[in-house]
Amino acid sequence: MRLEDVPAFAHLGKEGQSTTKPKEHVKPAQSTSLDLMTCCAFCPTEKRDLYVCPQCKKPYCSLRCYRSRQHAVCSEKFYENCVREKTGEQVEPPEESAKSFEEYMESQDQGAPEPEGELLDSDDEDLTYLKNVVQETMENFEDMDENEIQRQLTVAGVGGIKESHSEEDEEYQMKLLFENLTMEEKREFQKMVESMTVNEQGLTNSCFGKRMD
């Protein structure tokens, strides 16, 4: 009787070898759905699991993105609904806030008195208007008497016109004027003074000069 004839050893073949075929290695089944990264609609963040806005259906990664300016329409509507649910009142923006800037300015201009003088715009300056203002100012100045000019100069904080000055005051005023001149102006002033002095003293008619026939 052979050993392989015994039921307990029936799986053995010749020379004690097993007749049972080895089990083949089974590969794991590949997933049919790929885990793809999704990018947030309001920032460069990429994640597998993102929130989805129930209104616009756009994915967002955080509360900051939900409150962003790009998502302001949905987020503001969400907060309005929350307030409405808590208070039971209709939340509507005030009518005045919905006005544009142009509409607001037009409403302010209605019924306003006309300005007495014309306002000049630096971008659209009217030279004719400026000439008229200068001409009118010069005419008013010519019509003023000396007392009125003295009064306006005093009000403006400018030294008035004095009929008589002492020598000390004149020297002091000349000194102040000379100190306020630039170096070039001081040189020109000195040349002018020297020229006037020469003419007043008659040095040009010196006996040493060439006699003119």
What are the angstrom distances between the C-alpha of 179 and each of 58, 186, 193? 76, 9, 16
* Per-residue model confidence as pLDDT tens digits over 147-199: 666 676 666 655 554 544 566 777 777 787 778 888 888 888 888 888 877 77
* Per-residue model confidence as pLDDT tens digits over 83-102: 788 776 655 555 555 555 55
Residue matched to tokens 């300056």:
125
In whole angstroms, give the CA distance from residue 98 to residue 104: 10
**pTM of this prediction exceeds 0.75:** no
Across 6-144, the runs of DSSP E, i.e. the strands, are: 38-39, 46-47, 51-52, 59-60
Range name among 23-32, 113-122, 146-155 with the lowest pLDDT average: 23-32
Range name among 9-18, 30-39, 151-160, 178-187 with the lowest pLDDT average: 9-18
